[in-house]
Amino acid sequence: MKFLAFIAAATLSIAPAFADNTSPTGLWKNIDDETGKPKALIRITENNGVLTGQIEKLFREPNEDQAPKCEKCEGARKDQPIVGMTILSNLKKDGDEYNGGEILDPNNGKVYKSKLRLADGGKKLNVRGYIGVPMLGRSQTWVRQD
């Protein structure tokens, strides 16, 4: 009987790890679509069915500012630290993707429409930022971090 209780407890304790791969919530490393190098770690959270993403860490060269501010941003984000900044907002599940939200590019301060789709069994996240229609935009692949 103790063995069955142990198996049940072990199964329940690992279930959340598997559940994470069916949702974009978690920690992601974004890879620059132009250079192929990692740029940042972004934590995606969900609240009432709405996803948001916040920068937790930047991967910067030693000669670059290690605590940059969003100089080109407008409004409340202007001159605010990029680390800690919310760059993804208002994304909602729609079939097998999340859309209807926005993504900020801190490099140019512009906000784009956005959509996300899990790939590779939840290990990767295809992120698209666009103007008007998805055809007019850029895509990045983010990699799930443990």
Question: What's the pLDDT tens digit per position in 34-52?
Answer: 888 999 999 999 999 999 9
User: pTM to 2 decimals?
Assistant: 0.83
**108, pLDDT greater than 90:** yes
pLDDT tens digits along 39-88: 999 999 999 999 999 999 999 999 999 999 999 999 999 999 999 999 99
d(C-alpha 132, C-alpha 117), whole Å: 18
CATH number at residue 88: 2.40.128.520
Task: Say if 97 falls within a structural domain.
Answer: yes
Task: Say if 52 falls within a structural domain.
Answer: yes
Task: Say if 132 falls within a structural domain.
Answer: yes
134-145 mean pLDDT? 90
Task: Say if 14 falls within a structural domain.
Answer: no
Task: Say if 15 falls within a structural domain.
Answer: no
- Structurally, the chain folds into a number of domains equal to 1
Percent of the chain having pLDDT more than 70?
86
Task: Say if 40 falls within a structural domain.
Answer: yes
Task: Say if 64 falls within a structural domain.
Answer: yes
Give the range of the structural domain holding residue 59, as residue numbers without chain letter: 23-145
